[in-house]
Structure 1
Amino acid sequence: MIRRKLLSAALIGFAAPIFTSLPARAEPKPNLSFDEMYAGYSVLGLKLSEKLKSLTGKEVTILGFMAPPLKADAKFFVLTKEPVSLCPFCSTDADWPESIIVVFLSEKQDFVQANRIIAVTGTLELGSRMDEETGFVSLVRLVNARFEVI
Structure 2
Amino acid sequence: MVKEAGKTPALTFEDLYSEMTVRGVKLSDQVNQLSGKKVEMTGFMAPPLTAKVNFFVLTKVALTVCPFCSTDADWPTDIVVVFMPKGKDVTPTEHQVKVTGTLSVGSQTDEETGFVSLIRINADSVEVLK
Measured against the shorter chain, the TM-score band is 0.7 to 0.9
Percent of aligned pairs with the same amino acid: 48
Cα RMSD between the aligned structures? Answer: 2.7
Question: AA paired with 1:113?
Answer: T
Moved more, 98-107 or 52-61: 98-107
Gaps in structure 1 of 5+ consecutive residues? 1-25
Residues 81 and 117, structure 2, Cα contact 8 Å, conserved in 1:
yes
Name the residue aligned to 1:31: 10
Runs of 4+ displaced beyond 6 Å: none
Listed as ranges, the matches of 1:111-130 within 5 Å are 111-114=91-94, 116-130=95-109
* Per-residue deviation, residues 8-31 of structure 1 (Å, max 9, x unmatched): xxxxxxxxxxxxxxxxxx99x761
Higher strand share: 2
Give the distance between the partners of 1:112 and 1:86, measured in 2 at CA: 13
Q: Which has the higher helix share?
A: 1
Per the TM alignment, residue 144 of structure 1 is displaced from its structure 2 partner at its CA by 3.8
Structure 1 residues 41-80: aligned runs within 5 Å: 41-42=20-21, 44-80=23-59
Runs of at least 5 residues in structure 2 that lack an aligned partner in the other structure: none
For 1:118, give the aligned amino acid. Answer: V
Task: State whether residues 46 and 62 of structure 2, in contact with CA within 8 Å, keep that contact through their aligned partners in structure 1.
Answer: yes
Larger Rg: 1
